[in-house]
Amino acid sequence: MNELQRLRDMEDRVYNLGGSLADCWFTDQLHNLQAYYYIYFEPNNGSVSIATEPPGPSWQLASDQQISPAWSQSAAKQFITETLRRLPIFNLEGSDHNAGR
């Protein structure tokens, strides 16, 4: 697989994961309107979660910005996807500039 195809596949994975996480957040947020959700990732195994607190001791915040309860599902998906792109486990930051190389 060439580098361009690898980057496209990873972009697709991040986009799909962002959508799935936004769907889960939306459902959870509707059940608890007062909760504050954040994006967490586990750097050792590449897992990502939307939660009110870290799922475990090795989990790290992907962004210190919470997912606002006032956001639409679409706005949350955009924020989540952009946050995922910057994570070292996906290594896509700046990939738009390197895709043709």
Task: Tell me the pLDDT tens digit for each residue of 68-94.
Answer: 999 999 999 999 999 999 998 876 554
The pLDDT of residue 94 = 47
The string of pLDDT tens digits covering residues 15-68 is 999 999 999 999 999 999 999 999 999 999 889 999 999 999 999 999 999 999
User: Residue 19: enclosing H or E segment and its boundaries?
Assistant: helix 3-31
Residue 1 pLDDT more than 90?
no
In degrees, to the nearest 5, what angle opens at C-alpha 63 toward C-alphas 17 and 101? Answer: 60
Place of tokens 């980057």: 7
Q: Residue 42 in contact with residue 59, Cβ under 8 Å?
A: yes
Instruction: Check if the beta carbon of residue 76 is closer than 8 Å to that of residue 67.
Output: yes
> At 49, is the secondary structure helix, strand, or coil?
strand
Instruction: Strand 38-42: give its sheet, edge to edge.
Output: 47-51, 38-42, 60-61
Looking at residue 95, its pLDDT comes to 40
The radius of gyration computed from the CA coordinates of the chain, to the nearest angstrom, equals: 14
Residue pair 37/67 in contact (Cβ under 8 Å)? The answer is yes
pTM of structure: 0.83
